[in-house]
Copies of this chain bind each other. A is one copy, B any other.
Amino acid sequence: MAEKVTLVMFSGELDKALAAFNIAIGAASSGMDVSIFFTFWGLNIIKKNEGALRSKGIMRKMLNIMNRGGTRRLPLSKFHMFGLGRWMMSKLMKDSKIPTLESMMEMAKGLGVKFMACTTSMGIMGISKEAFIPGVDSYCGVATYLSEGRDSKINLFI
């Protein structure tokens, strides 16, 4: 049986997402069995880039406007500078022939990396399944994470 890697993706920042997918792709391409558990701000990474998020109640509507998410909107954790830092980072990555986050996510899916979305966070934030990209494999809670994480050789909170 393949060794397991489980990542808890709590942060919704571009730089941390890149680090996570770099690890995920490296592990999956060396034959490890990788799961990423997206929770809280991390859910922004797997939101569609297009369309508005529909949610009930004025506060969830407001939150989903501020916290729109989608790979093309993720900020940097440092030097974000209203988007300038993000733009610079994308240029530098392209220049270094590093794939974009979107390509990395596709690559990860191709290698069998499992995407799991935390239903507790979805409930609090009023995010429905329609908000996410098609690649999400399952919608689950902390029990599922724990059953994956406890048998993992690598288990990180990012």
Contact = CB atoms under 8 A, between A and B. Distances in A.
Given A98-B124, A146-B30, A8 B92 contact: no
Interface residues of A, number: 54
Nearest to A16: B10
A23 B142 contact: yes
Contacts of A149: 153-154
A27 B111 CA distance: 29
A157 interface: yes
B19 A124 contact: no
Interface of A: 3, 8, 10, 12, 15-16, 19, 22-23, 25-27, 30, 32, 39-41, 57, 59-60, 62-63, 66-67, 77-79, 88-89, 91-93, 95-96, 98, 120, 123-126, 141-143, 145-146, 149-151, 153-158
